[in-house]
Copies of this chain bind each other. A is one copy, B any other.
C-alpha cells in the first residue's frame, strides 16, 4: 500500500472544474426546491448556496480543515450563486428538465462522496471512518436542504432509488482502489460507481429491503 504522495490541496485540483459543476448542480436542486416553496429571492439564494456548500463543509469539519474549502476558495461560492440565480431566473424551464438536474446532482453526489473519502484517507482515518465521511460529504448538502425546507430528507425515504447507499459505495470504491492509482483516478472511479449505482437503481435493477413494525 503506497502512500498518497500529493499534498491535500492538490487532491482537489484535478477535478476542480467537475467539483464546480457538482456545486452548480447542488445549488440548482436547493434553489429549485426554494422556488417551489415560494421562498423569496434571497431565500432561494440561501437554500441554493447552503445545499451546494453543505457537503463540503461537513467533509472539511470532520477532517479538521478549518476554514472549510468553500470559504478559502471563493470560486465555490460564486458557482453556488450562479446555480441559484439560474434556478430563480429559469426555474419554470428547468422544472421540465428535472432529469438533467438529477444527472448533475448525481455527478455532485459522486464527486463529493469520493473527495470526502480521499480527504478521510489522507487524514489517516480507518475504513469505516472513510466510508462514513465520504457518504456524509455526498449526502450532507441534500440533508441540510431538506431540513431547512422542513421535509423528511429525501435520502431516507426514496427507497426506489439508491442515494446514500450509492454514496457509500463510491467511498468504498475509493478506499479499495486508492493504494493502486492516483488520487485523480481514485476520485473518478468513486464518482463513476456512484453514477452507475444510481442509474441501476433508477432502472429498478437494485433495491434495498424495508422492514415494517407490526402496526407501524
Contact = CB atoms under 8 A, between A and B. Distances in A.
A66 B35 CA distance: 36
Contacts of A159: 38-40, 43
B91 A46 contact: no
Chain A interface, DSSP helix/strand/loop, else mixed: helix
A70 B67 CA distance: 19
B47 A156 contact: yes
Number of copies: 3
A64 to B, nearest CB: 4
Contacts of A156: 34, 37, 39, 43, 46-47, 148-149
B157 A210 contact: no
Interface in A33-79: 34-44, 46-47, 49, 61-64, 66-68, 70-72, 74, 77-78
Interface of A: 32, 34-44, 46-47, 49, 61-64, 66-68, 70-72, 74, 77-78, 81, 88, 91-92, 95, 120, 123, 125-129, 132-133, 135, 143, 147-153, 155-157, 159, 162, 164-165, 168, 208-214, 216
